[in-house]
Amino acid sequence: MDARTHPRRSPALAAPRAARATASRTPRPYPDLHDHILALDRAGLLVRVTRPICKDTEMHPLVRWQFRGGIAEKERKAFLFENVVDAKGRKYDIPVLVGGLAANREIYRLGIGCEFSEIDARWVAAAARPIPPRVVTKAPCHDIVITGKALDKPGQGLDGIPLPISTPGWDIAPYATLSQYITRDPDTGVQNMGNYRGQVKARRRLGMNPSLELRPGIYNHWEKLRARGFKKLPCAVVLGAPPCITFASVQKLPESLDEIHVAGALVGAPINVVKAKTVDLLVPAEAEIVIEGFIDTEYLEPEAPFGESHGHVNLQEFNAYMDVTAITRRKDAVLTSIISQVTPSESSLIKRIGMEPLFLNHLNSALGIKGVKRVSMHEPLTNIRKVIALVCDRGMPATEVWRALYGAAVLHRAAGKFVIAVNDDIDPENADALLWAMSYRANANLDIHILPHRDQGHGPRSLRNGGQDGSVLIDATLKEDFPPISLPKREFMEKAKKIWEELGLPKLKPESPWHGYSLGEWSDDLDEAAARAVRGDYLDTGATLEKRRRKDVAMNTEVRRVKETPTKTTNRSSPHKRGPSAKSKR
């Protein structure tokens, strides 16, 4: 896409990093959101939109087209909306960034600050060796502080934040979508930061859906305080932060880990944090906007509908709500909003890039299964949780394949409804290839097992089977040698590709498999016969085959199943005949 526009540029986004680091009063070796936006712009990955865009009806549908319009992932971009209005014509002074964290892998890579080949190792190391944050006393997120009755004034409360409507026509309000809720465990004192949606209900009231199927830290904190008779759970909601913080917040990490510590490990340095103004919590110093308040533990109220990432609208449920006590922000704040709903989306990609290496590390390290080479979570429509492919070594023992299948199915209660083991000649990102392996390498009587009593997980809730679901485990690896893939060998396909390009035909996008290769059942004799064929000497092969005639086998008997013995006759009787020959009947 080259729908770029280059009119006025926000001074805050044009300032050099060194100058802004000084303004933030505390040095930091990691990029904040403004650094990241500049990096996207330099890389040609940012579309600046300066014409008025309605956040309620136009913003998300516009960006949605790059996920539903046949645009390849690498061609997707971030959108910075610099002239935001609402359905009533109100103008906002805060730009909105959509697709800026994970519209594609290159955008994610720039945010984390390393080569893409290093990301898997970074995630594993960060979860294993988190880095505590640095507490500061002054922070950009406190440039503007609004508290008390000032929040009731028009434009001073939540209505002053340009939160978009994600699914116009279905959602009943604007929602915070890339919103990191921070709470503290009353037993351990460990903070938890998770990404949940928040429905705007009033200038000082924000809804909260904790996604119960994952039993997140915030829900457990809420339950603990409720059980002890405390009516309020202190909470801070971050809207926009250094990319590493956002990346950590969307992953499903153990509750013993503070996501801000993991974010520090991702970038190899402590994250700057500051004490919030009205709640006893630490928040990222370079956050764009922070909403502070207390979540009620006594009452729940209806929340939603909202278009969800499982591809359906989530209907109304009773959920928690937060009474807002303060809104703090940077002077140059940029709101981040994420594209979710039907996948692929920014929401699914931002989770997938970090979750796949954590799954692989669980299988390789925690369970000691060394034969699994890769974990791939299917993204289009299924939203990464439901279909998981494990790429296994060809010689991996069957017992280890099954341990891997079980291990992947139970790591997260919402992930692994269909877990499929394949070998490395199968592209796990190609659903056609997965179905191909399941069709020809899995025996339905032997290689499929159903694991019952699973939570339904993320998706529309069905009352069938008492609300329980199951996992289907499929061993679609090769258990024996198979004949070659019936495509021309690589050298012939590569030569033909050059001719294709010389002819000026449409650009090719090779799909795996695009050339034939052996799967073990291929002899030297057959290889030489095929080589003779492409040399034009196939009649020599025909002469050899004539010498191998037999009359003691049935039609379609596989040659490889028959012991080779020279025939002593050239009788041309049909080999499927049994008893006297046709000649003796005359």
Question: Across-strand partners of 389?
Answer: 376, 420
| SS3 category, 563 | coil
CB-CB contact of 411 with 385 (8 Å): no
CATH homologous superfamily for 367-475? Answer: UbiD C-terminal domain-like (3.40.1670.10)
Instruction: Report how far apart, in Å, the C-alpha atoms of 484 and of each of 490, 497, 523 are.
Output: 12, 21, 11
Domains 11-337 and 367-475 alike in fold: no
**pLDDT per residue over 234-292, tens digit each?**
999 999 999 999 999 888 788 788 999 999 999 999 999 999 999 999 999 999 999 99
Q: What is the pLDDT of residue 259?
A: 94
Dihedral sign for Cα atoms in the order 90, 95, 101, 106:
positive
**50 neighbors 79 (Cβ within 8 angstroms):** no
Asked if 156 and 284 touch (Cβ cutoff 8 Å), the reply is no
Domains of the chain by residue range:
11-337, 367-475, 490-561
Contact, 235 vs 196, CB < 8 A? no
* 200, amino acid identity: V
Strand runs (DSSP E) across 384-540, as ranges?
387-392, 418-423, 448-455, 468-475
**Dist. CA 492–CA 532, nearest whole Å:** 15
Q: How far apart are CA 549 and CA 537, in angstroms?
A: 20
Answering whether pTM is above 0.75, one says: yes
Query: How far, in Å, are 11, 159, 416, 457, 469 from residue 462 at the CA level?
Result: 51, 36, 18, 11, 9
Phi/psi of residue 98, each to 5°?
-125, 135
pLDDT at 212: 57
User: Which segments in the chain show pLDDT lower than 70?
Assistant: 1-26, 211-216, 311, 458-459, 565-586
Fold of 11-337: Pnp Oxidase; Chain A (2.30.110)
Dihedral sign computed on CA atoms, order 271, 274, 276, 280: positive
Residue 571, pLDDT score: 46
Tell me the C-alpha distance between 246 and 215, whole Å: 20
Backbone angles phi, psi at 541, to 5 degrees: -65, -40
- Position of tokens 């500061």? 136
d(CA 515, CA 206): 55
**pLDDT per residue as tens digits for the range 499-509:** 999 999 999 98
Determine the 3-state secondary structure of 96 from DSSP: strand
